[in-house]
Amino acid sequence: MRVGRSGLVVKKMGMTTLFLDSGEACPVTLFSLEGCSVISSKKDADKDYISIQVGSGVAKKVNKPLSSFFSKLGVVPRKVLKEFRVLPEFDLPGGTSFSADYFDVGSYIDVSGITIGRGFAGPMKRHNFSGLRATHGVSVSHRSHGSTGHRKDPAKVFKGKKMAGHMGCKKITVQNLKVMDHDIERGIIVVKGCVPGFDGAWVTMADAIKKPLKKSAS
């Protein structure tokens, strides 16, 4: 994420199809703001560090440390908290609420989320291996990955070797997604393409790090 404006913490609602004026069908993902607002800000003059803590959703029950934290700030307990480092000109006071038009239509953003967990998966599903032969002596190991090491030299399996293992539950960032539309009244942002996570998952979105920031952004 770029050090500039604050990002948002939103809930993924799901995917649908948006038909453009040209008649083209565009796959899009819908996000809900869920009361996304600034909870607090942190400043460290010695390290030239300024950050904004953003929260979304309403938590029905929190532990004592978080309950004390929110009560001191006079804020309703939030389900998700994220911190974004910002520049001095983009510092926002606590209690500032974000609107669905925070990102202009046509701008590009980066979305980060946790992929859906698939549990223990074999190499064919996890790494798209072709598997072993279905004949010529192969028995009961058609979906295995085959040999993973060598003989006397180097006599080990290298780190990072593609093998069976835990699949999913990793933080993935999808870059340069275009904002197609937004609904200010309902607090919905429409983004082109797909993002990691299941429907109802919390994700973070911020200005694309590989695209120039628009002058209209504030």
pTM, two decimals, is 0.85
Render the burial of 88-118: b for 16+ CB within 10 Å, e for the rest.
Answer: eebeeeeeeebebebbeeebbbbbbbbbeee
Domains and CATH numbers, the chain: 8-117+168-207 (2.40.30.10)
Residue range 135-189, pLDDT digits in tens = 999 999 999 998 887 778 888 889 999 999 999 999 999 999 999 999 999 999 9
pLDDT tens readout for residues 47-58: 788 899 999 999
Mean per-residue pLDDT over the chain, rounded: 91
Instruction: Enumerate residues 6+ apart whose C-beta is below 8 A from 12.
Output: 29, 30, 31, 113, 195, 197, 198, 199, 200, 201, 202, 203
Read off the amino acid at residue 10: V
pLDDT digits (tens, 9 = 90+) for 47-96: 788 899 999 999 988 999 999 998 998 888 999 999 999 988 888 888 88
CB 73 within 8 A of CB 32: no
Q: 121, 127 in Cβ contact below 8 A? A: no
Cβ atoms of 171 and 12 within 8 Å: the answer is no
What are 187's two structure tokens? 């607090």
- pLDDT in the model for residue 100: 93
Rounded mean pLDDT, 198-209: 94
pLDDT attached to residue 49: 87
**pLDDT over 90 percentage in the chain:** 69
Do 9 and 36 contact (CB within 8 A), yes or no? yes
| Per-residue pLDDT, 148 | 86
| Mean pLDDT of the region 107-123 | 95
Q: What is the mean pLDDT of residues 7-33?
A: 94
